[in-house]
């Protein structure tokens, strides 16, 4: 079988896409652990920003962050392999955490935090810089500024409570939690969606 796959030039990505087409699968939570390809996701949605949903984030997040008080600990819940929301918080939060359910996404984020990722974030960074009002090439330092605030890459599951495996020093939760395109992707009913949001909100510090 492996020989045949090699002859046909089937790498893991091609096999997964053929398998999904063949079975007519929608990529829902049952298939996430095997079918979510972090590199393909980054390439499809963040190498260029054609998707209106992603544009909305890059347009509004800098404006929202500009109005928030400075300081505290933020976590991007269900970050996937992405850093874009953390980047928007680099001047606002003292500590930045990324949390995701899938090991392949946490591995990509860990690679990024060690400067070992191959993904080029420049299109996204330039877009964020533009919405922050910086037109002077300052996007070049954004990744490093963000990295210097990153304190961890955590496991999370919005279907559980507690929904984030927090390090022992974080006893009360986070000051800010963001989440984009996560709960709606891994819940199947309105009830489940509401429960997931509740589990995520539980991670916010009381007060
Ligand atoms: C469409 S991606 C969104 C990624 C990122 N937030 C973005 O804006 O591009 C959905 C994410 O939900 C995560 N996910 C899947 N099941 C989850 C669960 N039960 N709890 C939390 N996250 C989950 C996946 O690992 C994936 O990273």
CB of 167 closer than 8 Å to CB of 11: no
pLDDT of residue 60: 94
- Which tens digit of pLDDT belongs to each residue from 154-178? 999 999 999 999 999 999 999 999 9
Q: Which atom of ligand 1 is nearest to the CA of 185?
A: 10
Averaged pLDDT for residues 116-140 = 92
pTM over 0.95: no
pLDDT confidence bin for 199, thresholds 50/70/90: very high
The CA angle 154-155-161, to the nearest 5 degrees, is 120
What is d(CA 12, CA 20) in angstroms, rounded to the nearest whole number? Answer: 12
Q: How many CA atoms lie within 13 A of 75 on its CB side?
A: 25
* Nearby residues of 57 by Cβ (< 8 Å), 6 or more positions away: 84, 85, 180
CB of 88 closer than 8 Å to CB of 62: yes
User: Cβ(75) to ligand 1 under 6 A?
Assistant: no
Distance 82 CA to ligand 1 centre (A): 10
CB of 63 closer than 8 Å to CB of 91: no
- Which tens digit of pLDDT belongs to each residue from 38-71? 999 999 999 998 888 888 999 999 999 999 999 9
User: Cβ(197) to ligand 1 under 6 A?
Assistant: no
Averaged pLDDT for residues 20-30 = 61
User: Cβ(155) to ligand 1 under 6 A?
Assistant: no
Which CATH number is correct for 52-201, 3.30.2020.30, 3.40.50.150, 3.30.70.100, 3.40.50.300? 3.40.50.150
Position with higher pLDDT, 32 vs 114: 114
The residues spanned by each domain of the chain are: 52-201
Averaged pLDDT for residues 71-76 = 98
Cα 130 from chain centroid (whole Å): 21
Q: How many CA atoms lie within 13 A of 102 on its CB side?
A: 21
pLDDT of residue 6: 66
């Amino acid at each position: 079988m492996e020989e045949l796959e090699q002859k046909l030039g089937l790498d893991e990505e091609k096999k997964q896409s053929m398998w999904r087409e063949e079975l007519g699968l929608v990529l829902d939570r049952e298939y996430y652990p095997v079918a979510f390809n972090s590199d393909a996701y980054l390439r499809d949605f963040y190498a260029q920003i054609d998707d209106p949903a992603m544009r909305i984030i890059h347009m509004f997040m800098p404006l929202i962050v500009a109005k928030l008080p400075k300081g505290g600990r933020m976590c991007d819940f269900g970050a996937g392999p992405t850093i874009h929301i953390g980047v928007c918080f680099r001047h606002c939060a003292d500590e930045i955490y990324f949390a995701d359910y899938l090991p392949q996404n946490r591995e990509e984020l860990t690679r990024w935090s060690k400067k070992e990722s191959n993904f080029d974030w420049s299109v996204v960074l330039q877009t964020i810089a533009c919405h922050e009002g910086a037109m002077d090439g300052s996007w070049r330092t954004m990744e490093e500024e963000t990295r210097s605030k990153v304190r961890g890459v955590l496991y999370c599951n919005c279907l559980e409570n507690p929904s984030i495996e927090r390090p022992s020093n974080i006893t009360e939760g986070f000051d800010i939690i963001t989440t984009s395109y996560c709960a709606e992707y891994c819940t199947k009913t309105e009830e489940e969606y509401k429960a997931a949001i509740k589990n995520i909100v539980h991670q916010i510090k009381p007060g």
